Amino acid sequence: MALQQASGGAPGLVIADRYRLDQLSGDTLRTEVWEGWDLTLARPVMVKLIHAGDIPTAGGRLGLAGVVALFDATNHQGMAVLVFERLECWPLNQLLHQQPVLHPDEVAAWVAGAARVVESAHHCGIPHGAITTSNILVLPDRSVRLTDFRGRPTGNGDGPFDTQPDLLALSLLLHDLLLRCPRSLVSNFLWSLADPDALPQPDSVLAFRLLLEHQPESASLNTRKWWWPVVASGFFVAGVAALSWLLIT
């Protein structure tokens, strides 16, 4: 756990004789995020100062396209310091302040994108452990990246771990974002997928993602039993279309 620290960063401050802080990007009671510059490699970076709380370094073990790369972990005057790649992006929580009303298609795309990254991390043996809007970054093409992996696998890191907390967090994220959509635009299918008490529910992040990516044109609460046939038929139609294109060309 990082130590409590009364003072934080300041423009021009150099940490570990290498990382210069340039502009404050965002802060909370526990953390500060700065745009910075790596003086050694001459490249832009993001520098996170952690006054208190857990230090989210699990993402440093992942080399996945959807995970914000963690370059370095150090400390400065009692604060833990993490150095990340710098991207042109917006934290989803900040984007929601600028865009309070959402469309269900955009919501589904964001959550499905986050689920895809989490699914890949699970394959590498790392749960996320803190899926929130502040840890989801939206790029200009509206794709997403994830940061601040806090999950810890059981045992020595090679054994199984419980994936359900991440699955539940994705479902709750979907629910919270759908609340920002006009109710008339949200299908019962999406509402039921966002309800952890609705049955049946997907039992894995993969199943959750596939349902988001292959929604039926219309679905009601009474047609949940047809979810998986719908997904399967979607793959079949896509395969036939691809084959037809190859034959034509």
Which tens digit of pLDDT belongs to each residue from 214-231?
988 754 433 344 344 444
Domain end residue (candidates: 55, 85, 115): 85
Between 3 and 127, residue with greater pLDDT? 127
Would the pLDDT of 172 be above 80? yes
Are 150 and 60 within 8 A, CB to CB? Answer: no
pLDDT score at 222: 38
The band of 6, judged by pLDDT with boundaries at 50, 70 and 90, is very low
Would the pLDDT of 60 be above 80? no
H helix and E strand count, the chain? 6, 9
Question: Does 44 share its domain with 159?
Answer: no
Question: Does 71 share its domain with 136?
Answer: no
Would the pLDDT of 238 be above 50? no
Which amino acid appears at position 111 of this protein? V
Would the pLDDT of 63 be above 70? yes
* CATH number, position 66: 3.30.200.20
State the residue range of the domain holding 42. Answer: 14-85
Q: Indicate the pTM of the whole model.
A: 0.79
* CATH number, position 119: 1.10.510.10
Question: Does 79 share its domain with 96?
Answer: no
Question: Does 69 share its domain with 47?
Answer: yes
Name the percent of the chain in helix, strand, coil, to the closest 5.
40, 20, 40
Between 57 and 2, residue with greater pLDDT? 57
Bond preceding residue 200 cis, omega within 30 of 0: yes
When mean pLDDT is compared across 2-6, 89-93, 200-204, the lowest value belongs to 2-6
Please report, rounded to a whole number, the percentage of residues in the chain having pLDDT higher than 90.
Answer: 61
Domain end residue (candidates: 85, 106, 127): 85
Question: Does 139 share its domain with 172?
Answer: yes
Tokens at 244, concatenated: 């037809």
CA distance 163 to 153: 10
Question: Does 212 share its domain with 241?
Answer: yes
Residue 6 lies in a domain: no
Tokens at 172, concatenated: 């709750």
